[in-house]
Amino acid sequence: MDAHVLLNQYLKTNPQLVGKVVDFDATTDSLYHFNFTASNTELSAETFGDTAKFSIWIDEQLQKNNCKYGIGGYMEHRTIYARSKHFDTSDEPRRLHLGVDIWAQPGTPVYVPLQGKVHSFNDNNNFGDYGPAIILEHNLDGLKLYTLYGHLSRKSLDELSVGMPVSINQPLATFGNISENGNWPPHLHFQLMFDMEGKKGDYPGVCRYSEKEKYLQNIPDPQLILRFPATVNE
């Protein structure tokens, strides 16, 4: 049976086995939807090309809309990646975002949403990269699923070891600041994968638009785990 179908069945049958990724409370917290496509004319190239200005802009949007968290990005064709050569290739640049970004303050706690173990971790210390990242491995009644957490604080990696068991709602990490998270405004890149393709401590979070169908097969929508309500500005 298709892995996407199996994942949906497992999550619907076992909602009690799905925990949180961040401390979001739908009764008190609102979500702001960020749009980083070419249709967002409010975000200039000058702003997103300067990390300090970009971070201020993110904070202003959250404060103006009275939101603790911002959200967005799954399969979004983003123009902001022109800010870093990390996403440029010799033929077609990488601009399609494969995970969901959760924007909040540095130090924001990150939790384990599914029982599993540490698959791998690494400090991907390049401008525009993940910075510190953790990948967990989960066995969902025989279906293998991996969850990726990028742009973390460096201290998040300190107590980890490969194969270390993790439990639902266990504190895992914290959001990194600009100086350690790949030079981004503080946020978490959260992504699901069925197959790590042999990679450790890293997996593409952005791909070429021409590769969309390929990656859709391996990367389900993180909202299946996050279960966030509709955002305030949709």
So where are the chain's domains? 3-13+31-226
The CATH number of domain 3-13+31-226 is 2.70.70.10: yes
Q: What are the pLDDT digits (tens) for 73-97?
A: 899 987 655 544 444 455 657 579 9
Reported as a pLDDT band with limits 50, 70 and 90, residue 41 is: confident
Q: In the beta sheet, which residues pair with residue 135?
A: 120, 148
Nearest to 57 by CA among 48, 66, 49, 70: 48
Per-residue DSSP letter, 218 = H
Q: Model pTM greater than 0.75?
A: yes
User: According to the model, what pLDDT value does residue 234 have?
Assistant: 47
Reported as a pLDDT band with limits 50, 70 and 90, residue 66 is: very high
Mean pLDDT of 173-190: 96
* H or E segment and range at residue 232: none
pLDDT of 28 strictly over 60 = yes
